[in-house]
Structures are given as structure tokens and as C-alpha cells.
Amino acid sequence: MNEVLIEMAKQVPGALAVIGTVYLFLKAENEREQRRITNAKEMEMERRAHEIEKNEMWSSFIKNLIDSQNNSSTVIANAIAEHEVASRDRYEKMGITNDLLKVAKENLKK
């Protein structure tokens, strides 16, 4: 039995070295995992902020596009309304001119 205890005592420094190495390895792994978790949270926050910024830029672009279309439609509608008024004036003038031509033709016939 003494020989077993003596042999176990001889193996204690090696066992402590292995246990210490495993402990340091597990501690380093735990710290690395904690850093990984922290970095993942930060990256997710950055990704989300970028996604929000991108969506805001798209919504701004679409809003500007729609505003531009509305302005174009308003300009076209106003131009058509002005054209209608001008056309009506031309037709009224033509009516007056046609009446004058009729009177002039009647006067020439006489």
C-alpha cells in the first residue's frame, strides 16, 4: 500500500499540470465565447441600424418619386386646362371670323 501512495504522490505534479492546463484552456474558451457573444450583439445592432438607414433612404426615394409624379401630373393638368381655354378662345375667334367672312361675302355678292 505504501508503494501505491508513493507512486500516487509522484504522479500528483503531472496530474496538477494537466488539471491546470485544462482549467486555463476552459477559462480561455469561456472568455472567447463571452467576447463572441458581445461582438455578435454589437454586429446585430450595427446591422439593424444599417437596415433602418437603408429603409429610410428607400422611403425617402419613393416619397420624392411620388412627389415628382404628383408635380408632373399637376403641371400636365394645368397645361391641358390652359390649352382648353386657349382652344375655346380660338374657336370663338374663328366663329367671329367666320361671321365676318359671311358678311363680307354677302357684301361682295351685292
Question: Is residue 101 one of the residues assigned to a domain?
Answer: no
In this structure, of 64-68, 86-90, 91-95, 101-105, the range with the lowest mean pLDDT score is: 91-95
CA distance 65 to 57: 12
Question: Is residue 87 one of the residues assigned to a domain?
Answer: no
Mean pLDDT of 58-73: 97
Q: What would the grid cell of residue 47 be?
A: 446591422
pTM value?
0.53
Question: Is residue 100 one of the residues assigned to a domain?
Answer: no
Residue type, 21: T
DSSP reduced 3-state for 1: coil
Residue 4 has pLDDT above 90, yes or no: no
Domain span at residue 14 reads: 1-80
* Domains of the chain: total: 1
Question: Is residue 99 one of the residues assigned to a domain?
Answer: no
Mean pLDDT of 35-60: 97
Question: Is residue 88 one of the residues assigned to a domain?
Answer: no
Question: Is residue 16 one of the residues assigned to a domain?
Answer: yes
Mean pLDDT of 91-98: 74
* 82-85-90-96 Cα dihedral, nearest 10 degrees: -160
Question: Is residue 95 one of the residues assigned to a domain?
Answer: no
Question: Is residue 53 one of the residues assigned to a domain?
Answer: yes
